[in-house]
């Protein structure tokens, strides 16, 4: 039987699998490097946030959440952009690599967007005296969360992995195209309410330079963190794929 | 000036919210990283077991 | 034209099927009616609040009724293998998508046309304004385009009924917002200021997704 040839049987023997193992250990090397860099950046970031950043005269210390909340929110949108690009390339060129990027970016992205929402509410409550406000940025973030969830649900409920990849790619593309439209709709819809001058969504020019610098540093820290988690998740997916291949070969042997 | 009046002029510190926000962030990130690495270990274990089973089949079927 | 005839044939086929079974239109009509009635009790709408609440109730009813209609779009094909037959026929994937979308669009319009006078009576507003009709057409087109694509995906997943709403609602939010805003202007007879920005938004949404959805549809239905 064709399928039981040795070349297809034990994955460790095939050149494709060897390349994957090499890539995986390369990735692990990169992973350790990223943990070190990310850890150092995070420590520095925390120091900056608590020791260097000036205390906001209006909001007090609780304003420091800003240095976590805003970068996390920015990264969650960036993650979705990665999902969009990878989904687009996947639909056009169909490599498992691209599906792996999209899937991992979506999973890590949903973590980021959930945190953005959580830190957002934990900041809104003391500052605005309400847990939630239907204003453009928060609302769009909530919709982004829903789209991420739809993406992951489609993957979970699809009949097989190939279909899961295609369907979720479609969701990734349509979702990303839609997000700007949602943002402007909500902005026009809420047009009567003025955006808060201070608070979670103060415009960047309202910041003084120290705050802006720390914010950017924080953004870099979370970018490294995102990259680390993304590579870890992609690595896990590779491993899962290997398990599936192995199970597949076992069942087809006579 | 009595402390009470002084404190009334400072912005409220709301430190519990600050702590909660940072704590939640750390928990979630670490939790996810931990979850991924644990799944990775489980999968590696399964790969070893599956490879063994595959090799046994190879030897018994004499291919 | 190469595209037009297959599309019309497909639409006619679905219309014939529906004429025989009358499944979709009746159930969607009843459902739409139920939504409005339930809302009326749930919100305890007083005559003074009607102008503010009526557009929202109207569009929630249309959106949920629309979901019901679109859920059925591919179910019959899936269960009776009609989709494989369609794919084997010398019809372009675009034509299949446009046919299905047009069918859903027409069914939804029929239901909305039937429900609108009823709602106008129940919620005490004047239904017959050109702007309102235009909005209904544009918004329903948006629903049908996005909904048909997601219905094709949802019908092949394990959680068919929940998958379509989960995919559909976050994406069509701009349409919903725009439709409600324009409707409330049209019903309340307010100034046309909002209309000038919302109607183009609906138009842009429709145009954008009428291009994107057929393109990804072929990937969705391939083997």
Backbone dihedral angles phi then psi of residue A56, each to the nearest 5 degrees: -65, 130
Supply the pLDDT for residue A10: 43
Task: Pick from A2, A27, A31, A65 the residue to mutate for testing the B interface (most B CBs within 10 Å).
Answer: A65
Mean pLDDT in residue range A160-186:
94
List chain C domain ranges.
4-221
Instruction: Give the residue carrying structure tokens 């709408």.
Output: C45
Higher local confidence (pLDDT), A209 or A220: A220
* CB < 8 Å to A173, chain C: 212, 216
Interface residue A62 vs chain B (CB under 8 A): yes
Cross-chain Cβ contact C220/A149 below 8 Å = no
Angle between helices C195-221 and A161-189 (to 10 degrees): 180
Backbone dihedral angles phi then psi of residue C91, each to the nearest 5 degrees: -115, 140
Residues in C 131-160 with any Cβ partner in A closer than 8 A = 146, 149, 153, 156-159
Interface residue B60 vs chain A (CB under 8 A): no
Nearest CA in chain B to A241: B43
DSSP letters for A61-121:
GGGGGHHHHHHHHHHHHHHHHHHHHHHHHHHHH--HHHHHHHHHHHHHHHHHHHHHHHHHH
Query: What's the burial of C21, exposed, middle or buried (CB within 10 Å: 0-12/13-18/19+)?
Result: exposed
Supply the pLDDT for residue C81: 73
List chain B domain ranges.
12-61
**pTM listed for this prediction:** 0.87
Q: ipTM for the complex?
A: 0.90
* CB < 8 Å to A166, chain C: 219-220, 222
d(CA C202, CA A79): 28
Higher local confidence (pLDDT), C84 or B11: C84
d(CA A119, CA A112): 10
Residues of chain C predicted below pLDDT 70: 1, 45, 127, 189-193, 223
Share of chain A above pLDDT 70, in %: 81
Mean pLDDT in residue range A143-164:
95
d(CA A181, CA A188): 11
d(CA C77, CA C100): 11
Q: Is residue A56 classed as helix, strand or coil in its secondary structure?
A: strand
> For A112-147, how does the pLDDT look when each residue is reduced to its tens digit (9 = 90+)?
999 999 999 988 888 888 888 888 888 999 999 999
Task: Pick from C83, C198, C219, C223 the residue to mutate for testing the A interface (most A CBs within 10 Å).
Answer: C219
Supply the pLDDT for residue C11: 86
Task: Pick from B16, B19, B43, B49 the residue to mutate for testing the A interface (most A CBs within 10 Å).
Answer: B43
Supply the pLDDT for residue A17: 57
Supply the pLDDT for residue A1: 37
Instruction: Give the residue carrying structure tokens 């429709």.
Output: C206
Cross-chain CB nearest to A111 (options B10, B32, B55): B32
């Amino acid at each position: 039987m064709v399928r039981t040839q040795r070349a297809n049987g034990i994955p460790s023997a095939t050149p494709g699998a060897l390349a994957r193992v090499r890539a995986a250990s390369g990735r692990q090397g990169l992973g350790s490097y990223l943990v070190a860099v990310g850890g150092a950046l995070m420590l520095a970031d925390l120091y900056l946030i608590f020791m260097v950043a000036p205390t906001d005269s209006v909001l007090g210390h609780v304003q420091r959440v800003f240095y976590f909340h805003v970068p996390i929110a920015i990264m969650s949108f960036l993650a979705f952009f990665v999902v969009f690009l990878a989904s687009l390339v996947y639909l056009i060129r169909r490599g498992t690599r691209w599906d792996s990027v999209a899937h991992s970016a979506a999973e890590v992205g949903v973590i980021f967007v959930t945190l953005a929402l959580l830190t957002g509410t934990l900041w809104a409550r003391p500052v605005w005296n309400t847990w939630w406000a239907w204003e453009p940025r928060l609302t769009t973030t909530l919709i982004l969360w829903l789209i991420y969830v739809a993406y992951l649900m489609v993957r979970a409920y699809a009949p097989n992995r190939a279909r899961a990849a295609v369907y979720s790619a479609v969701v990734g593309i349509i979702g990303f195209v839609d997000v700007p439209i949602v943002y402007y709709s909500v902005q026009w819809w809420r047009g009567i309410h003025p955006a808060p001058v201070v608070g979670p969504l103060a415009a960047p020019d309202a910041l003084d330079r120290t705050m802006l610098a720390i914010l950017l540093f924080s953004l870099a820290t979370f970018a490294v963190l995102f990259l680390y988690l993304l590579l870890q998740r992609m690595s896990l997916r590779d491993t899962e794929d290997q398990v599936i291949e192995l199970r597949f070969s076992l069942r087809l042997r006579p | 000036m009595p402390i009470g009046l002084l404190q009334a002029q400072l912005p409220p510190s709301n430190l519990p919210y600050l702590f909660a926000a940072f704590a939640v962030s750390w928990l979630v990130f670490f939790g996810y990283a931990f979850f991924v690495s644990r799944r990775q270990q489980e999968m590696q274990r399964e790969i070893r077991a599956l490879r063994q089973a595959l090799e046994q089949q190879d030897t018994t079927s004499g291919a | 034209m190469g595209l037009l005839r297959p599309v019309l044939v497909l639409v006619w086929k679905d219309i014939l099927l529906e004429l025989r079974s009358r499944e979709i239109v009746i159930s969607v009509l009843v459902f739409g009616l139920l939504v409005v009635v339930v809302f009326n009790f749930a919100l305890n709408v007083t005559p003074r609040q009607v102008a503010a609440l009526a557009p929202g109730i109207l569009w929630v009813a249309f959106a949920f009724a629309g979901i019901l209609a679109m859920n059925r779009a591919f179910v019959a094909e899936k269960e009776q293998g009609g989709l494989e037959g369609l794919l084997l026929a010398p019809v372009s994937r675009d034509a299949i998508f446009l046919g299905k979308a047009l069918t859903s669009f027409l069914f939804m319009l029929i239901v909305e046309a039937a429900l609108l006078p009823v709602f106008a009576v129940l919620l005490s507003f004047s239904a017959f304004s050109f702007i309102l009709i235009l909005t209904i057409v544009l918004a329903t087109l948006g629903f049908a385009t996005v909904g048909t694509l997601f219905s094709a995906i949802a019908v092949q997943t394990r959680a068919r009924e929940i998958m379509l709403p989960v995919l559909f609602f976050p994406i069509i939010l701009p349409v919903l917002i725009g439709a409600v805003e324009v409707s409330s202007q049209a019903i309340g007879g307010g100034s046309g200021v909002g209309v000038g920005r919302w109607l183009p938004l609906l138009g842009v949404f429709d145009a954008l997704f009428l291009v994107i959805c057929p393109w990804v549809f072929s990937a969705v239905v391939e083997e």
